[in-house]
Each structure stands twice: as C-alpha cells, then as structure tokens.
Amino acid sequence: MNIIKKYYGGVVVLQLNRPKALNALNTEVMHELVDIMQELDKDSKVGCFVITGNKKAFAAGADIKEMSDKSYLQMLGEDFFAGWEAFAKIRTPKIAAVSGYALGGGCELAMMCDMIFASENAKFGQPEIKLGVIPGIGGSQRLTKIVGRIKAMDMILTGKFINANEAMQSGLVSRIFTTEELLEKAIEVATTISSYSKVSTMIAKEVVNRSEELGLQEGVLFERRMFHSLFATSDQKEGMQAFTQKRTPNFGGFNNKIN
C-alpha cells in the first residue's frame, strides 16, 4: 500500500508511504493517489484533502530508479507522468503538509496542491539538473509563477534547496509549524475549509486558479459571474441568513435538494 488514507470528519489525510525510498513518486504511487482522490472528489462529505509524507521526506522526487533506463520513445509513448495532471485537476481543496525533502516531483506535487504548509525542517528544490534532465511535472511553470522567474531560475539551474523560511519569504508556503505540530495544524485548517460549502470552496479554487490564465479584465468578469452563480445555491441563503441571525451556518453543499 503506497498511500495511507485516514478520515478526520470531512477531511481526508493521504500519506505517501514509501519511506525506504523517501517517498519517491513512481507510476504506481501516481495511479493509487489519483484513483483515491478522483473517487473522493465526487463525495460531497469530503471537504478537503491533506497530502503528506513523513518527517524525513514529503517526497524526494520522481522515482529515479523507475525512470533511469527508459528510452525517449518509451517516455513519449507512455506520455510518462502525464497522469499527474489529473492530480492537479482535483476540485476539492488540497493542502500539502511538507516535512523534510520536497524535491523534484515532490516539490511539483506540493505545488499542485492549493496550499503548502511546511515544518521547520522542510527543504524544497528542483534538483533535476544534477541528473541531466529538467523538471517534468510542471516545476518550471508552477515554480516560476509562484516565486518569480529569477528565483525559479536560481533553483532550477543550480539545483539548490531552500528551507522553510526562504520558501515562506518566496510565497511558496503560507504557514510554518514545528514538525510535531504540522499534521495536526494542517488537519485543523482543512477542517475549517471542509466546514464551508463545498460548492463555494470549489468555485473559489476555480476563480483563483483562472487568474493564472486570464488577463485582469476577463478574470474579474469571470469572478463576478461565478459570484452571481452562487446566488443559485441554498448555501448562499443559509450563509447570509445565519450571519443575520447570529448563528453558525449549516451548509449542505452538493447535498442540497433544491437548485
């Protein structure tokens, strides 16, 4: 079993479980993780995922041993690792809780999540250049969008690792915790997210993510139209009525019978 799945109410923690290989990401891990998440993505009771590893490694990259002997035609024919795009496309919010190494594909996996929390011992890097290759699961694109071209170029051309503080300063992580607290705090934040309407958390993700593709005018229009669309949901009524009535809202998400 490459993935350990645990439920905490509406939160599902998915722990990468190849400790002897520092959670290196192979094809089997990819299929296992993506299959679990695609199934749970449809479950209205699941409001947020936490993706994590262990204290030493979130994931030390794509599995070098799996890839090393492949030919160009095999890589092209299999469209090697294209399956990770399905991970990126999961609509339920997902938080990466990173302790230890998040390198190469591991850093890319974290960046395909919606938020990255790091423990004090976290190390991020895109060291593929040392292997005679380049990032292959979106690193050159996503890292550049997140930290900017000059910093991304420094990391990708030198292969150097950055620590949690530097990652925080660069906007790659949004919160740092002690290694002991990391998972608990990530579950706490995920529980908050899963207490909201899954309809609005999914739409919120969509509008933020579209900002990477659209110009400002189109993006603002898209946001406004999506904002309008939420007035077709019972959760908008519930959320606003609960505010006026000074009570906690009870969101139904996709379980609402009407609309």
**Catalytic machinery residues:** 62, 105, 108, 128
| Cα 215 from Cα 220, distance rounded (Å) | 9
In the numeric block, the tokens 């620590």 are attached to: 163
Q: Quote the radius of gyration of the chain (alpha carbons, Å).
A: 19
Q: Does 163 bind ligand DAK (CB under 6 A)?
A: no
User: Order of strands, edge to edge, in the sheet holding 3-8?
Assistant: 3-8, 11-16, 48-52, 94-98, 115-119, 175-177
Is the four-CA dihedral 165, 167, 171, 172 of positive or negative sign? negative
**Nearest-approach distance from CB 98 to ligand DAK, in angstroms:** 13
Q: Does 131 bind ligand DAK (CB under 6 A)?
A: yes
Per DSSP bridges, beta strands 11-16 and 3-8 are antiparallel
Of the candidates 11, 46, 48, 103, which one interacts with ligand DAK according to CB under 6 A? 103
**Nearest-approach distance from CB 59 to ligand DAK, in angstroms:** 8
Task: Between 133 and 208, name the residue whose CB sits nearer to ligand DAK.
Answer: 133
Extract the tokens encoding 242.
Answer: 């609960």
Q: Does 61 bind ligand DAK (CB under 6 A)?
A: yes
| Cα 98 from Cα 118, distance rounded (Å) | 5
Of the candidates 37, 62, 162, 203, which one interacts with ligand DAK according to CB under 6 A? 62
In which region does residue 159 sit, left (phi positive, over 0), alpha (psi from -120 to 50) or beta (all else)?
left
| Cα 213 from Cα 209, distance rounded (Å) | 8
CB under 8 Å to 64, separation ≥6 — which residues? 24, 131
Binding mask 10-39 for ligand DAK (x = CB under 6 A): -----------xx-x---------------
Q: Does 49 bind ligand DAK (CB under 6 A)?
A: no
Q: Does 75 bind ligand DAK (CB under 6 A)?
A: yes
Task: Between 117 and 124, name the residue whose CB sits nearer to ligand DAK.
Answer: 124
Of the candidates 2, 38, 80, 237, which one interacts with ligand DAK according to CB under 6 A? 80
Task: Between 11 and 110, name the residue whose CB sits nearer to ligand DAK.
Answer: 110
Task: Between 47 and 136, name the residue whose CB sits nearer to ligand DAK.
Answer: 136
Q: Does 64 bind ligand DAK (CB under 6 A)?
A: yes
Contact 58, 122 (CB under 8 A): yes
**Nearest-approach distance from CB 122 to ligand DAK, in angstroms:** 12
Question: Where on the chain is the footprint of ligand DAK (CB under 6 A)?
Answer: 21-22, 24, 60-65, 75, 80-81, 101, 103-105, 127-128, 131, 133, 136-137
